[in-house]
Amino acid sequence: MKSLPYFCRGEVVRGFGRGSKELGIPTANFPDSVVDNLPADISTGIYYGWACVGNGDVYKMVMSIGWNPYYKNTKKSMETHVIHEFKEDFYGQILRVVMVGYIRPERTFDSLEALIVAINGDIEEAKLKLELPEHHKLKEDNFFISAAINGH
Q: Is 6-146 a CATH 2.40.30.30 domain?
A: yes
For residue 118, what pLDDT band results from cuts at 50, 70 and 90? very high
Distance, in Å, from the CA atom of 105 to the CA atom of 101, rounded to the nearest integer, reads 12
pLDDT for the residue 67: 78
pLDDT for the residue 88: 85
Over residues 86-97, the mean pLDDT reads 92
Sign of the alpha-carbon torsion through 137, 147, 41, 92: positive
Q: What share of the chain is helix, strand, coil (3-state, %, to 5)?
A: 30, 30, 40
Over residues 41-45, the mean pLDDT reads 92
**Which residue type is seen at 129?**
K
Give me the active site residues, please.
Answer: 79
Give residue limits of the domains in the chain.
6-146
Query: Percent of the chain, pLDDT > 90?
Result: 61
